[in-house]
Structure 1
Amino acid sequence: MICLMICAFGVPAKESALARIETFSPASIDSLRQGRLEDPRTPDLMIEVLPSGRKVWKYERRLA
């Protein structure tokens, strides 16, 4: 999160990393071909595409 704020400083909004944050929608999930997509509304919830092409949901929870 800090990197996004620092890296986006001074960059036009349409090119910044913050401008590319997507919410989960059927279209955004279907278009995901590699990597992962994190939900901006639900911290630590993400969908990840495995090398096989299979999509899996992940929820990372940190314990104190």
Structure 2
Amino acid sequence: MPRFRPFRGPGAFGLALAAWDVWRRIPPQHRKLIIGQARKHGPRIASSLLAAQQRRRRR
């Protein structure tokens, strides 16, 4: 018999709301810095994640 779980973890909508709330609290100067870092390093991180996923599928 499945265990009773009255509360589940946060869903996609809950995580999006939490991320938006955190983003709103960051000062505008820091937001610009974060966006710049994401533009600089984002593609490299995404490509490494994609490569890791492809390696995992080949096994």
Structure with more relative contact order (C-alpha pairs < 8 Å, separation 6 or more): 1
User: Which has the larger Rg?
Assistant: 2
Compute the TM-score of the two structures, normalised by the length of structure 2.
0.27
Q: Of Structure 1 and Structure 2, which has the larger fraction of its residues in strand?
A: 1
Whichever structure has more helix as a proportion of its residues is: 2
- Normalised by the size of structure 1, how large is the TM-score? 0.26
